[in-house]
A and B are shown apart, each in its own frame.
Chain A
Amino acid sequence: MDSTTPATAGGFEPRITAFVCNWCTYTGADLAGTSRLQMASNVRIIRLPCTGRIDPMFITKAFERGADGIIVSGCHPADCHYNAGNYHARRRFAIFRELMDFLGVDPSRITFSWVSASEGAKWRDVVNDAVTRVRALGPFTAYRNMVVVQATAPKSSSPEHAGEGEGLPMQSLAADGVAPGASKEVTA
C-alpha cells in the first residue's frame, strides 16, 4: 500500500473539503504533519471549534462550490472538548445523510469519522480513503451545473466533465438517488 494515493494518469482529481474540530481532528492532522505522514493533497481543511458548530448547510454549500467530497471529523464519542458537541453533530449527520440520499447525492461522498489528537495515522487513512472513494465516484457536477454553470459557464462545462453521469440535477436525482432506493423497495 502506497502512503499517497496515486493519481489516475491525467484523470480526475477530486476536490475534498474537510470540516474538522479544533481540538481533536485538527490537532490530529497537525500530528500527521509533525510525523511527516504522506497523504493525498486533495483535501482542504476548514477549522471549526467543534463538530457541533457544523451547520449541514456548510456541506451543501461546499458541494455547490465544487467540492466532490466532504469529510466531517471530530473528537471521539465521550472525548468532546465541549462535552457533547460531537453527539449533536452525529445526530444531525444521521438525518442529513438521509436528506443527501434523497436529494440524489451519493452519501459515500461524505465521510464522517472520529479522529483524535493522537491519531495522525488515522487521519492519513481517512484522507486517502476518501480521496480514493471519491475519485472512483467521479466528479460531482450536479450542483455546479445547477448553480455555478449559468454564472461561470466556460470553466465547469469543460468537455471532460460534460458526458459524465451527473450531468443535470434531475438526471442525477433519477440515476443516483431515487432509482436505487425504489428498486430496493421492490426487491424487499
Chain B
Amino acid sequence: MARIGVFVCHCGENIGRTVDCHAVAEGCKDVPGVVHSVDYKYMCSDPGQQMVKKAIEEKGLTGVVVAACSPHMHEKTFRRAAAGAGLNAFLCEMANVREHCSWIHEDREKATVKAIDITRTIIEKVKHNVPLSTIRIPVTRRALVIGGGIAGIQAALDIADGGREVILVEKGPSIGGHMSQLSETFPTLDCSQCILTPRMVEVYQHPRIKLYAYSEVESVEGYIGNFKVTVRRKARSVDEEKCNGCGACTQVCPNKKIPSEFDCGLGKRTAIYVPFPQAVPNLPTVDRNKCLLFMNRAKGRPDTCKKCAEACEKGAIDFDQQDRLITEDVGAIVVATGYQLYTIGKDQPKDNLKGYGEYGYGTIPDVIDGLQFERLASASGPTSGKILRPSDGKVPKRIVFLQCIGSRDPQKGMEYCSKICCMYVAKHTMLYHHKVHDGVATVFYMDIRAAGKGYEEFSRRAIEEEGAQYIRGRVSRMWREGDVIKILGFDTLEGEPIEMDADMVVLATAMRPQPGIDVLAQKLSVSYDQHGFINEAHPKLRPVETNTAGIYVAGACQAPRDIPDAVAMASATASKVLGLFANEMLEREPTVARVDEGTCAGCFHCERVCAYGAVEHKDIKDRAGNVVRVIAYVNPGVCQGCGTCEATCPSKSVELQGFTDEQIWSEIQALGV
C-alpha cells in the first residue's frame, strides 16, 4: 500500500493569497494512501526541505507530492531532497498550484477547490510511480569530423588539442576546402593560404588526428557515445606509404588539359594530379575518369600508358588499388561539409532551379563567378595573381560585379541572403584596384549587408578610398559584342535604365550546401531544411547541435557562413564534444520508453513513428537458438522520451517510464466526479 506524503507550499503569499493551503493539506488527508499532509510557508527553503526529508524517514513514505510551483521551477530541488532522504528521486512529483492556479485565479474558493483537484491528480499519479535510476551509457571518447575545410580543420584541432582522438574524413584529395582557394580574406586582406596552410599541416602532423582524405562516410550506425562509422577510402591508385610526393608522375602525364577543380576550371591539371602545391596530404591522385589507362580499361582495351608508373622511383603507383571500407568507433560526430556555389548558367530541374541564362555564364567566357575571381587574384592561381580575362588574357579595364545572383530571389534562386557576398565583392573591388590601378570596378547591389566586426568600415573603404562605383539596382541582360560585354540594367536610386560596357563580369552567386548533403544527413539521421542546410537543434540556444544527440554541425553546411563564423562554430562543436567526452559514462534521464517483451507482437508501428530511430529489432530465441519472434527494443541511449510510440502501440506493449498509461489513467480517474 502506498504511503504518500503531501506537502503544500504557501510560497509566502504567492499561493496562500488565493489558495487556502491549509484546506488543501486537509483536503488531501482523506485520499487513500496519503499518510502525511502538511502545509508550510516556504517548502523550497531549507527547513521546508528538511520537513520533506524528515517525513520520508519517519513515516516511511513511498511517494512525495509537493503542491507548490511549476515542476520546471523546483522539481529538481525536491527530487534531490527526496533522494537525500533515501527515497528514489522519481517517486517525488510536483503539483503545480502556483502558475496553474493561485496566480491565475482570484476567487479563493474556486482556486482552493482547483488546487485540491490538482494535488489529488498528482497523488494518484505518484501511487503508480516506480523507482527509476539514471541511465548510464558508456562513451567512446573519439570523434569523427566530416569535412576538411576550415570548419572541420578547426573542430579537429580543438578536439585533438583537448586530448581526444579525432578522425577527419575529407571527400577530396586534400583538406583545405574553399578557404584554400581564396586569395585574400576580408576584412583584413590577409592571405588566405598563409593563415590556412599551417593549420592544415598541423592537422596532418597531429598525433591524435587520423586523416582520411579522398574518403567518404559510407554508413553510420549507433547512437550518442557509441557510433559505428564505415568510411570508404576511395582508391587513389597511389600507395600512400610508398609515395614521397616528389611529383615526377604529374610531370609525365600526357593528359594535361583537364580543367582544374581547384582553379574553378580556369587552370588545367593532369590526370594524375595534386590539386594544389600545398595540398595535405601531399599525395597525387589518379582521376580514373580522365586517365588514359582507365579510359582504355573501361573500353576493354589493353593498358597503353603507364608513364606515371614508369616515372615513379618508389613504385608507388598502383593501378589495381581498390576502394577500402574502414570501420571506426566514435562517440561524437561533427558535420562540416561546407558549401558549393549556385550553378548560374544551367537549368537545374533536379533542384527545381532555373538558373540565370540571361547573364551568359558558361557562354560568355569573361563572365565568371566569385570563386573564379579569387583564383585569378590568387598568387597561386592560373594567372599567378594577375587579373586577366579568361577569353584573351588581356587586363580588363572595366570590371562589373553583380551581387545577389541566386540569393534573395524566391522566384529563381534561393530566398535567403548568402551573407558573405557583400563583403567579398567589396574585397574583390579592392584587390582589382590594387592590381589594375587605372581600372574601374562597378558593383550592382540590392543592399549592402556588412554586419560584422570591421565589415562596415571595410565596405566603406572600398567605396570611399578604393574608388569602387556602387550602383543600387539589378542587371537584366548581358550579351557580347566583339570582345565587349554589353550590360543592360536599372539604377533604382536614379530610377532610370543603365547601359554599360564591361571587359569582365563577376557574379556573386548564392551559397548552397554541398551536393549529396541530403544523402549524408539521412545516413546520420539529422534533419535538413528545404535548401539542404543541416538544421540546428535550436536556432538560438543550441546552434551547433543537431536533433540527433551526439551529432554536431559547424560551418556553411548549416547556413551561409563566413570564415570567422565557421571557425567559431567549429570551436563550439569541439567544446560540446569535449564536454561529452569529459566522463566515461553518459548520464541520461530515465524517462525513456520500454517494451514489454511478453506482449510485443513485432508490428513495429513504434519504429515508424519514432523520430530518433530509437526502436531496434530484437530476436527472441528458443532454447535451441532458433529465432521464434522478432520484437521491438527501444535503445535507451537514443530514446528522447516523447512517448509517441506508446500512444501508437496497438497492443500497449511499450510504455514511457514516468508517463505510463497507468499513471495517466490514474490522473484522469482522479479528476472524475
Listed in ascending order, the chain A residues whose CB lies under 8 Å from chain B are 4, 15, 17, 26-27, 29-30, 32-34, 36-39, 41, 44-50, 52-55, 58, 61-62, 65-67, 81-85, 88, 92, 124, 144, 148, 152, 155-156
Contact = CB atoms under 8 A, between A and B. Distances in A.
B643 A44 contact: no
Contacts of B347: none
Interface string B648-673: 10000000100101001101110111
Contacts of A61: 665, 668-669
Given A49-B643, A83-B527, A155 B673 contact: yes
A55 B646 contact: yes
Contacts of B591: 49
A48 B659 CA distance: 7
Given A38-B106, A84-B611, A148-B673, A53 B668 contact: no
From A39, A48, A83, A148, name the one whose CB has the most chain B CB atoms within 10 angstroms: A83
Interface in B624-662: 640-644, 646-648, 656, 659, 661
B673 A55 contact: no
A92 B644 CA distance: 11
Contacts, number: 130
B664 A58 contact: yes
Interface in B97-146: 98-101, 103-107, 110-111, 113-114, 117-118, 121
A33 B99 contact: yes
Contact of B644 (A26, A34, A37, A82): A82
A53 B659 contact: yes
Contact of B111 (A41, A50, A66): A41
30 contacts: A4-B105, A17-B671, A30-B100, A33-B70, A33-B101, A34-B103, A37-B104, A38-B104, A39-B105, A41-B101, A41-B104, A41-B105, A45-B118, A46-B667, A46-B668, A47-B71, A49-B656, A50-B643, A50-B644, A52-B643, A53-B646, A62-B668, A83-B612, A85-B611, A85-B642, A88-B609, A92-B647, A124-B104, A148-B672, A148-B673
Contacts of B197: none
B547 interface: yes
B114 A66 contact: no
Contacts of B106: 4, 38
B668 A49 contact: no
Contacts of A44: 114, 117-118, 121, 671
B453 interface: no
Given A66-B672, A83-B611, A88 B110 contact: no
Contacts of B99: 29-30, 32-34
From B71, B659, B661, B672, name the one whose CB has the most chain A CB atoms within 10 angstroms: B672
Given A65-B669, A82-B642, A84-B611, A33 B103 contact: yes
Contacts of A66: 671-673
A41 B104 CA distance: 8
B72 interface: yes
A37 B114 CA distance: 16
A53 B642 contact: yes
A111 to B, nearest CB: 17
Give 8 nearest A-B pairs by CB, closest first.
Answer: A33-B99, A53-B643, A52-B644, A82-B642, A65-B672, A66-B673, A83-B611, A33-B103
A183 to B, nearest CB: 33
B659 A41 contact: no
A22 B99 CA distance: 14
B115 to A, nearest CB: 10
Given A29-B100, A53-B644, A65 B668 contact: yes
Contacts of A48: 643, 659, 664
A148 B669 CA distance: 12
Interface in B64-121: 70-72, 96, 98-101, 103-107, 110-111, 113-114, 117-118, 121
A55 B647 contact: yes
B673 A156 contact: yes
A88 B645 CA distance: 10
A15 B661 CA distance: 22
B104 A33 contact: yes
Contacts of A54: 647
A152 B672 CA distance: 11
A17 B101 CA distance: 14
B262 to A, nearest CB: 39
Interface in B180-229: none
A65 B669 CA distance: 6
Contacts of B656: 49, 53
A67 B671 contact: yes
A61 B591 CA distance: 24
B65 to A, nearest CB: 14
B500 to A, nearest CB: 44
From A52, A61, A62, A156, name the one whose CB has the most chain B CB atoms within 10 angstroms: A52
Nearest to B643: A53
A85 B70 contact: no
Nearest to A34: B99
A35 to B, nearest CB: 8
B604 to A, nearest CB: 15
A32 B98 CA distance: 11
Contacts of A27: 72
Nearest to A62: B668
B114 A30 contact: no
B104 A32 contact: yes
From A29, A41, A45, A152, name the one whose CB has the most chain B CB atoms within 10 angstroms: A41
B104 A39 contact: yes
